[in-house]
Amino acid sequence: MYVLSAILILTALGLLLGLSLGIAAKYLKVESDPLVERIEALMPGSQCGQCGFPGCRPAAEALVSGSAPVTLCPPGGSALVEQLARLLGVDVDLSNAQDQEAMVARVSEETCTGCTRCFKVCPTDAIVGAPKQIHAVVADACIGCKKCVAVCPTECLQMHPIEVTLRNWRWPKPLAA
């Protein structure tokens, strides 16, 4: 008798709770997923494609669906990883994270033919010049996407690390554990 009543009560309880959960899921549903927009806003937005997705929006969608790791975006660096981890509520070990060194393109003046191919592909208009004139890269606007390097017929565009000056010098991380 006791066993029976226990089974009955627990079954009833389960049914009731299940029903209320089902009702809650139906009526308190979140309409659209604002997470994708928020993540997209965090991303560099240069659509560089280094993550393997065709742009920042698809990458954000992949992040939300969980099919891409939060470390997918090299230009975003560890700052972006930290923000994404926070937003998505995942734990990520940043202790060994090492940002890749920021690079900018530079035109070698000896070999530039002024073919204008590079500034046609530059997504941020960071390359200035005119046909048959030597081109130059505005380092502040260059995002290091390397598209220009790929199209340059004379290999005069090369990636170089950003020059360290007193203004952008920063303390390195302490070596000790």
Establish if 27 lies at the interface with another protein (CB under 8 A). no
Establish if 141 lies at the interface with another protein (CB under 8 A). yes
* Contact region with another protein (CB under 8 A), list: 8-16, 19-27, 65-73, 136-144: 136-144
Tokens (6 digits) for 82: 């930290």
Torsion of CA 101, 107, 108, 113, to 10 degrees: 150
Q: How far is the CB of 53 from another protein (least distance, A)?
A: 17
CA dist., res. 70 & res. 84, Å (int): 6
* Contact region with another protein (CB under 8 A), list: 1-9, 23-31, 127-135, 158-166: 158-166
Residue with tokens 């029903």: 19
Instruction: For 17-39, give the DSSP string.
Output: HHHHHHHHHHHT---S-HHHHHH
Establish if 32 lies at the interface with another protein (CB under 8 A). no
Alpha carbon of 53 to those of 61, 73, 89, 136: distances in Å? 10, 10, 22, 29
* Contact region with another protein (CB under 8 A), list: 21-29, 31-39, 87-95, 108-116: 87-95
Contact with another protein (CB under 8 A) among 31, 101, 110, 155: 101
Establish if 125 lies at the interface with another protein (CB under 8 A). yes
Establish if 91 lies at the interface with another protein (CB under 8 A). no
Q: Three-class SS of residue 5?
A: helix
Binding site for another protein (CB under 8 A): 44-47, 77-79, 82-83, 86, 93-95, 97, 101, 123-126, 140-141, 143, 164-166, 168-177
